[in-house]
Each structure stands twice: as C-alpha cells, then as structure tokens.
Amino acid sequence: MSDWLPDTPRTLAFPTSAYVTLAGADWLASAGPDPDAMQAAWAAQPAAPSVLPCGTAFDVINAPALFGRRMVDHLWSTGPGSGPVAAHRGRILLFAAPGAAQRLPALLVWEEWAAAVPPLLCHGSGDAVTVPPLHPRHGTAEASAAAEDPSGPAASRWLVAPDVRNPWLPGPDVLLWACVRAARSMAGPERDTAAQHRVSALTPG
C-alpha cells in the first residue's frame, strides 16, 4: 500500500491531522470481518469512501455539523482530546470506544442539558458508517468541494485522521461531557448563568 499511502506526510498541503497513515488504515481495516479484502479495496480505489461496520474496533457518534464541531473543539481545548473525527455530508462523525453508542443516549436522559443537545445518531454493533477516502486525490470534485466549504453537505474529509494502530477513543462519559459543554456554549450566556444560579440555589451553603 506504500505506493498510494505514504508513511507520514508533514507538509502544509497535506497536514497529518487530515491524512490516514498506514497504521491508521490498519486500524480501520480491523473493524471489518476481512481486513485483507478491505486493504485490497483501498489499494484499488484509494480516493473512494468506505463503508465500515461499528461495534468491534469502534462505535461512531454522528452529530449535526455545528454541534459536532463544538464537541470536538471542547474535547481538544479543555478535555482529553478526541479519537478520529470525520466530516461527511454535513455531519460530524466522532469515533468512540465500543459500547459508547449504547451508553451515551442513556446517560443523556439524566442530564439537565439534554434538551439542548440535538438528535445524535449513535452507531454501534450491527450498524455501519460511510467514512471519507483515506487518501483523497487533489483535483477531484469532492476534494474541491471540501476545500471551498469544509462544513458543506458535499464535504467528505478527515478532521482528525487515524494515525496509529490503536488510537485512544473517548468513552460515553467523555462524550457526555463534550455534549453538555457544546450545548451550554450554543445556548448562550444568559441561559448558562441561569442554570448556574439554579445549581447554586440547590447547593447547601
């Protein structure tokens, strides 16, 4: 695969964060029942999107673009960071630890800010997701659309590409934390302050 997927590019034109490395490709392929067949398909069509099953190597939390970007921003600015993240057809795909797709909705039910969280699509065991190409060719219509409008519906690209064989993946608790902070940041300072006052009023002095 080295002819179409160089080891670790480090140029401004091809930042590592948007580029799946050989080790990252191995990890993605491990999600399917036949990793060798997946690797062969990528070698034949490296610029084509892929359909990967969830539930074994990873789950995926599928969020609306703006909310998903807020989650990723909070994960990196004040949290532990994220696992791989992709943008696909106006949605943000956050790769999560297996089991997170089942646990996150249950945790959100008990969260005060759950009403401010937009509907999330949680893909776990038995589901599959379409992810961007591992190595998109410059000059393609898809690459041009993503460059012109990274958040548009035609954009399909990696925001945080897998670059190691066993990437760290956030669990449901970390994702809940990111959801709450994203919801609070999008709800506005007045509602956030009101919520803090309610909590303070209920807390013994």
Per-residue pLDDT of 80-91, as tens digits, reads 999 999 999 999
Render pLDDT for 18-56 as a digit per residue (tens, 0 to 9).
Answer: 789 999 999 999 999 999 999 999 999 888 899 999 999
Whether the predicted pLDDT of 198 surpasses 80: no
DSSP per position, 116-131: GSPP-EEE-TT-EEEE
Which residues, in sequence order, are bridge partners of residue 203? none
Distance CA 86, CA 158 (A): 4
Is residue 51 classed as helix, strand or coil in its secondary structure? strand
Which pLDDT score, from 0 to 100, does residue 16 have?
A: 60
Whether the predicted pLDDT of 145 surpasses 80: no
Helices (H), 30-132: 35-44, 65-77, 100-109
Which pLDDT score, from 0 to 100, does residue 144 have?
A: 45
Q: What percent of the chain has pLDDT over 70?
A: 74
Helices (H), 110-188: 141-148, 172-187
Structure-token pair, residue 120: 């999330």
Dihedrals φ, ψ of 128, to 5°?
-140, 155
Q: Which of 153-162, 168-177, 189-198 has the highest mean pLDDT?
A: 168-177
Distance CA 194, CA 169 (A): 33
